[in-house]
Amino acid sequence: MNIPNLSRGRLQHFSAALVVALIFFAGFALGNQYAVSRAQGDSTAPPPEAAEAFEPFWQVYNLIQSDYLNPVDTTTLVDGATKGMVDALGDPYSGYMNPEVYDLLNSDLSGEFNGIGVVIRTDEETGQIVVVGLIEGAPAQAAGMKPNDILIGVDDQDVSNMNQTDLAVLVRGEEGTQVKITMLRGEETLDFTITRAKINVPNVETDVLDDDIGYIKLNQFTANARADLDSALDTIDVNERSGLILDLRDNPGGLLSSAIDVASVFIESGTIVTEDFGNDDPQEFDANGNFADINVPIAVLVNNGSASASELLAGALQDYDLATIIGETTLGKGTVQTWHELVNGGGVRLTIARWLTPDGHWIHEQGVTPDIEVAWEDRTFEPGEDDPQLDAAVNYLDTLVAEPVTDVQS
């Protein structure tokens, strides 16, 4: 792993609310999750006690087939009904994924995907999808796309009002195939014909700041996150530094097992997280013994894009007083999801538990409050933009290693 030549204020943080859009996947689908396959016993048989309750469903299905003006593909009806059933739970973290989206999200957890390599986010005020960064060397950069371009079309289809997941399905595709992307740059409309490529997304970014402070940004809690982190710690030679900054900003979470592995880098023993299933049988997850014995002060950067597994780690480090949390209050996602693969190749994610920090805090809809709060409200993602939160972390660590003042008597 190479340490990029980045100065403070130039570090590019590809948000995973960005990775959502960036790598074109739906970040809300991530979290502290298990993957569950059909082999684990999901039944496709209708339960007898529900037969009467589902009579209106079959009545509507039959009416559509017999009376509706235009022919409708059965798959379309089944997808709509399945999505509606899960949506009826009113839980933003439970949802149905059709086969295309399910494959999309699974590939994102692997750290590579076929696409164009553009980092985007949805502008909350306008609803437009805006480019905020480009993956180095990826097709979008080579084609001439720039930050602040607005995505308005894919293969001549208007995507101005499309959500990020549906857009992802359009933009992704087989390596070597072409996609036409239409962008709005200022008042000018630009078309780019781009050949999709296999893109490997670095999950860890490293640097050494002010010549002596190690910096590691973890973008996602993938299956390889622990190995990536171990390699990064070796690369920066962490215990020879004066401090370590762990950047979890815009990290949307990932696998629960990965969160436990990563937390065990910093926590030698004890409970990392407790799962509460709403019964009298909570499950505790303890440090797994793979302690890295880091002996320098640690600052952890968070913001409102730090979610789920990121909050789990930040909360545990805060409870054990092992790191100083700096930045903005985190998203506040304190629930656990399972992923079930369905017989149609799609999937469903369902909330099955809430999780608690080692001291028993439930951060849901509240988030982890930083020890040192530093706002960054006017973030524009422009190259060279100053980073007040990173500056605050560096300044904080600098104060810890400053030479003490010694009274001199005469």
DSSP string, 42-76: ---SPPGGGTTTTHHHHHHHHHHHHH-SS---HHH
Q: List all residues 6 or more positions away from 23 whose beta carbon is below 8 Å from its beta carbon.
A: 108, 113, 115, 199, 201
Is 371 buried (19+), middle (13-18) or exposed (0-12) by CB count in 10 A? middle
**Phi/psi at 52 (5° precision):** -65, -40
C-alpha 251: how far from its chain's center? 5
Residue count of the chain: 410
111: left (phi over 0), alpha (psi -120 to 50) or beta: left
Which residues are marked as active site? 308, 319, 333
Closest CA to 265 of 227, 236, 308: 227
Beta carbons of 205 and 177 less than 8 angstroms apart:
no
